[in-house]
Amino acid sequence: MRRALVTLLLMALMAGFGFGINRFLAARRTSEVTAHSVNRPTQTVAIFTLPGTLYLAQQGDIFKLNGGRFTDLDLPSNGSWMQPAIVPGTNDIVAVLRSAAYSDLYLIDSRGQVLQQLSHNAVTKSIIQNNHWMFWPRMASDGSTIYVSYDEPKTSASYRVDFAIWKGTLNGQLAGREQTVPFNYTGGDVSATPLPDGSILYAKYQVSGITVFSQLALQTRPLAQPVFLTDSASDCGQPAVSPDATQVAMICAGGTGLQSTRLVVAGLQAHKLVSPRVLVDNCLCSAPTWAPDGSGVVYYAPADSTGHFQLWWIEGAGSATPKAARQVTLNLDFDALSPPAWSGPSASAEAAATATPG
């Protein structure tokens, strides 16, 4: 009897061992390892605290990072939320809700309450190409003027779908007036950033031969010829202008075979870029954003081969001696196509407040 029990127990253990080997192998799959290396931001804390409040998108949700802790804005889950932008002078943000065939902009308060649907780009008709995309919202400092990339209304049956930069107001027509003329069949003009003098800086896609590239373009008047601030070989895009409008951070991919990028910062003087400095080379850097006081730049880049984008910080990015990049988050997977939105207080004010006893 005892022997039979021992035999049965051993056989059960052997079967368990075989099953264990099977599951051990399954757990070692790259897809499994990669998937399990991602947490929801609310399950983690930042490695160190950045001042102010950042809004970041991960896997279709927008999270608020404040004091090193993440809060889920808990927005309605009827699409993917992305590309938050601060509304100056308020605690609100504008964000994109992307659906399968269109995307719309929404005004959202800092607690995640949807205040208003700003655009209506969906059509109920079965003509799918009558839907519209709207991406990269960016507010001017007046807190009302908004710039977006919008695929213009189609006037004829055509395959052409290109983004142009459109200007509107939060309380009026969102895509009120077209600002740029896209290069046809390239994808067009994206990532508009308003400058204090009323001009806009954006990334313009163009084609030469069979090479497609992006150049930073500056436009002072609607539909005028743009002034190019970077050359075609550098293939630069994603411009981010410092709060004092004296520095531009950008992402360039020229010469990398589109297998990597570099984070570059240059001075902005009289509508020209001067003294470009490569802050991070040979990375998959994306979405640079300046601190509200201009003390540095955050950006996204993978920290390992899983390809999941983490948040990084470079203090003094605009200075001649920037500090080394520091990783801010671990095991997250930010949407690299959604630049963070960052609102004050300023880093220096917070540092002063921290240093002041009582």
Partner 1 sequence: MVSRPRASLYRRRARRRIWLSILVVFGFALSGVAGAFVYFLPAIRVAFADTGHTIQRSAPRPSSASPGLSVATTQQPTAAPAVPAPSQPFTVLLLGSDNDSKFASESVLTQSMILARVDPVSKHVVMLSIPRDLFVPLYSGGTDKIDKAYSRGGANAAVQTVENDFGIHVDHYAWIGLLGLVRLIDSVGGIDVVASNPVLDDFYPADVISANPYAYERVAVLPGPQHMNGLEALQYVRSRHGDLRSDFGRSQRQQQVLLALRAKAKLLGLADLPDIANAMASQFLTDMTIPQVAALLPIASNVTLGNVQQVILSPPYSSSAQIGAQDVLLPNWDLILPEVHKFFPRA
152-211 residues near partner 1, rule: CB under 8 A:
159-163, 183-188, 190, 203, 205, 207, 209-210
CB burial string 150-170: b at 16+ within 10 A, e below: bbbeeeeeeeeebbbbbbbeb
Burial of 282 (0-12, 13-18, 19+ CB in 10 A): exposed
DSSP 239-253: EEE-TTSSEEEEEE-
Q: How far apart are CA 273 and CA 241, in angstroms?
A: 11
Contact between 207 and 190 under an 8 Å Cβ cutoff? The reply is no
Task: Please list every residue from 320 through 339 that binds partner 1, using CB under 8 A.
Answer: 333, 336-337
- 92 vs 104, beta carbon nearer partner 1: 104
Q: Is 264 in the site for partner 1 (CB under 8 A)?
A: no
Question: Contact with partner 1 (CB under 8 A): which of 60, 79, 267, 302?
Answer: 302
CB burial string 231-257: b at 16+ within 10 A, e below: eeebbbbbbbbbbebebbbbbbbbeee
Q: Is 228 in the site for partner 1 (CB under 8 A)?
A: no
Q: Is 259 in the site for partner 1 (CB under 8 A)?
A: yes
* Residue range at the interface with partner 1 (CB under 8 A); choices 29-37, 215-223, 242-250, 311-319: 29-37
- 53 vs 138, beta carbon nearer partner 1: 138
Task: Please list every residue from 93 through 122 that binds partner 1, using CB under 8 A.
Answer: 100-103
* Binding-site size, partner 1 (CB under 8 A): 74
Question: Contact with partner 1 (CB under 8 A): which of 145, 230, 286, 310?
Answer: 286
Question: Tokens 């995307």, residue?
Answer: 103
- 32 vs 142, beta carbon nearer partner 1: 32
- 157 vs 355, beta carbon nearer partner 1: 157
Pairing state between β 227-228 and 211-219: antiparallel
